[in-house]
C-alpha cells in the first residue's frame, strides 16, 4: 500500500492570447470559435514556456507530470498527449509521466499501443498510461456517433491490452476494429504493461469499469461529497471483484497555485477563471449530446465544481477546495485537509492554466517542490478498509 500521496503537476497549456471580446462574439468556446485567432509564432513561444515549467518541476522534486489531450480548444493546445509526453521524456529525468489521457474512441488502438510502448522505452519505464473516453466535443469533431463512444472505448482498450500482453502476430475481429494481422514490434518496458489510470468526473459507470480492472481511478474535480460517494463505489466494486483497494487506486485533481504571500496568490489565482468560465460554454448538445453518457452520469455531473448547474464564484471554488491558492503554509493546510478527507494516492495539481503568467507558474513550482510537497509527503495514508473511510 502507498504510504504517502504523490503530487503531480499539470499544465493545460492554454493559448492565452485569446481575448475576452474575441470569445464573447461566439456561442461556443470550442466548436464555433474560429482557428483564425491562432498565431503559430505565439504558440511557439508558449510551448517553450510550458516545457520550461516541466523541466523545473522535475528539478524541484515534483513526483510526476500529468499531460492530457483536447481538440478544438483554445484553453488547451495539446491535440496529442503522446507528443507532449515525448517531450517530457527527453527534458526530464526523474518524474513519472502520466497521460490522462489518450482518447481511445477517436484513435487507432494498435498505433496507440505502439506509441505508448515507445514512450515507456524513451522514459526508461516512467510512463503511466491513462485512457479516456474524451469529452463530447472530441467525439463530435471526430464525426462519431456519441452513442458509440463507450463501446468504442472499451474495445480499443481491450485491443491495446492484447497488443501489450499477447505475442504477435494475431488477428482481431471486433465490432469497430478489424485487423487481419496485429504484430506490434515495440513493446513497453514495464510488464505486463504500464500502470493504467482512468479519470472521470461524475459517472459511476466509469468508476466501476476502473475498479473491475484494478485500475487507478482519478476524479476530475467533483465536489467533496460526490467524490467520496464515487470513491465508495470504487471500494465496493473492488471488493466484489476480489481485491482490497488502497490509496494507490485513487487520485484527485484540482487547481492550485502557490505564491510568496496569500495576497499575491489570491491575485494570481483569478487567472484560473479564464478557463473555468469558458471551457463549457455553448449549447448543451455540444457538451452532453444525447447518448453520450447515462442519465445518472448526466445528473451527477451537475454536482461537479463549476458544472453546468453550479456556476461558482472564485470564492465559492476556493470554499469547496476546487481551487487552492495561498502562501506555502496556507496551501499546505488546504491540501492536507483534502488529503486527509480523501486519502488519495495521487494528487494532480493543475498549476498552469488560464491567464496565469509564466513567471508566476515558475515561482509556484519552486514553492511546491521545496515546501509544499515535502510537507504532504509527511501525511501517512490509511488503508481503505478503515471504518472511517
- Output the nine-digit C-alpha cell for 288: 452532453
- The pLDDT of residue 291 is 56
In eight-state DSSP terms, residue 201 is S
- The pLDDT of residue 202 is 84
Q: Cα dist. 202→207, 311, 385 in Å?
A: 9, 16, 23
What does the domain layout of the chain look like in residue ranges? 6-377
The residue assigned the cell 477546495 is 321
- The pLDDT of residue 387 is 43
Rounded to whole angstroms, the Cα distance separating 152 from 145 reads 10
The residue assigned the cell 485537509 is 337
- The pLDDT of residue 135 is 85
Q: How far is CA 71 from the centre of its chain?
A: 14
Angle, CA of 282, 283 and 289, to the nearest 5°: 120
- The pLDDT of residue 299 is 54
Q: How far is CA 385 from the centre of its chain?
A: 27
For 339, phi then psi, to 5°, come to -65, -40
Ranges of residues in the chain whose predicted pLDDT is under 50: 295, 306, 308-309, 386-389
The residue assigned the cell 470513491 is 231
CB-based contacts of 247: which residues, under 8 Å, 6+ apart? 1, 2, 5, 343, 344, 345, 381, 382, 384
Total residues belonging to the chain: 389
Q: Are 259 and 55 in contact (CB under 8 A)?
A: no
- Output the nine-digit C-alpha cell for 314: 472564485
What are 278's strand-pairing partners? none
Q: Are 126 and 96 in contact (CB under 8 A)?
A: yes
**Does 6-377 carry CATH code 3.20.20.30?**
yes
Q: How far is CA 281 from the centre of its chain?
A: 20
Helix or strand (DSSP H, E) at 165 = helix 149-165
Angle, CA of 203, 209 and 213, to the nearest 5°: 150
- The pLDDT of residue 284 is 64
Handedness of CA 126, 75, 221, 365 (dihedral sign): positive
Q: Cα dist. 84→81, 126, 312 in Å?
A: 5, 14, 31
Amino acid at each position: 500500500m502507498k504510504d504517502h500521496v504523490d503530487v503531480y503537476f499539470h499544465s493545460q497549456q492554454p493559448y492565452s492570447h485569446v481575448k475576452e471580446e474575441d470569445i464573447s462574439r461566439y456561442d461556443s468556446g470550442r466548436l464555433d470559435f474560429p482557428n483564425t485567432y491562432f498565431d503559430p509564432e505565439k504558440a511557439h513561444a508558449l510551448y517553450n514556456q510550458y516545457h520550461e515549467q516541466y523541466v523545473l518541476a522535475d528539478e524541484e522534486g515534483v513526483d510526476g507530470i500529468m499531460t492530457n489531450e483536447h481538440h478544438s480548444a483554445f484553453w488547451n493546445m495539446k491535440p496529442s498527449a503522446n507528443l507532449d509526453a515525448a517531450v517530457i521524456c527527453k527534458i526530464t529525468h526523474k518524474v513519472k509521466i502520466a497521460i490522462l489521457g489518450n482518447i481511445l474512441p477517436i484513435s487507432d488502438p494498435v498505433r496507440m499501443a505502439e506509441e505508448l510502448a515507445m514512450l515507456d522505452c524513451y522514459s526508461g519505464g516512467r510512463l503511466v498510461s491513462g485512457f479516456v473516453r474524451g469529452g463530447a466535443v472530441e467525439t463530435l469533431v471526430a464525426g462519431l456517433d456519441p452513442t458509440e463512444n463507450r463501446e468504442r472505448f472499451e474495445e480499443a482498450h481491450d485491443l491495446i491490452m492484447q497488443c501489450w500482453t499477447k505475442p504477435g502476430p494475431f488477428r482481431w475481429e471486433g465490432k469497430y476494429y478489424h485487423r487481419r494481422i496485429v504484430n506490434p514490434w515495440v513493446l513497453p518496458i514495464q510488464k505486463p504493461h504500464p500502470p493504467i489510470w482512468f479519470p472521470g468526473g461524475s459517472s459511476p459507470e466509469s468508476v466501476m469499469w476502473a475498479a473491475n480492472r484494478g485500475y487507478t481511478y482519478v476524479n476530475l474535480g467533483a465536489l467533496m461529497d460526490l467524490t467520496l460517494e464515487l470513491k465508495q463505489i470504487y471500494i465496493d466494486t473492488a471488493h466484489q471483484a476480489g481485491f482490497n483497494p488502497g490509496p494507490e487506486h485513487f487520485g484527485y485533481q484540482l487547481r492550485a497555485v502557490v505564491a510568496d504571500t496569500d495576497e499575491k496568490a489570491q491575485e494570481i489565482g483569478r487567472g484560473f477563471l479564464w478557463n473555468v468560465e469558458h471551457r463549457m460554454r455553448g449549447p448543451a448538445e455540444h457538451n452532453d449530446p444525447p447518448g453520450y453518457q447515462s442519465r445518472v452520469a448526466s445528473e451527477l455531473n451537475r454536482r461537479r465544481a463549476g458544472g453546468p448547474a453550479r456556476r461558482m464564484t472564485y470564492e465559492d471554488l476556493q470554499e469547496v477546495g476546487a481551487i487552492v491558492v495561498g502562501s506555502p503554509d496556507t496551501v499546505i493546510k488546504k491540501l492536507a485537509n483534502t488529503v486527509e478527507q480523501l486519502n488519495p494516492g495521487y494528487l494532480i495539481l493543475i498549476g498552469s492554466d488560464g491567464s496565469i503568467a509564466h513567471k508566476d507558474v515558475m515561482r509556484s513550482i519552486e514553492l511546491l517542490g521545496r515546501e509544499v510537497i515535502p510537507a504532504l509527503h509527511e501525511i501517512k495514508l490509511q488503508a481503505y478498509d478503515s471504518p472511517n473511510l
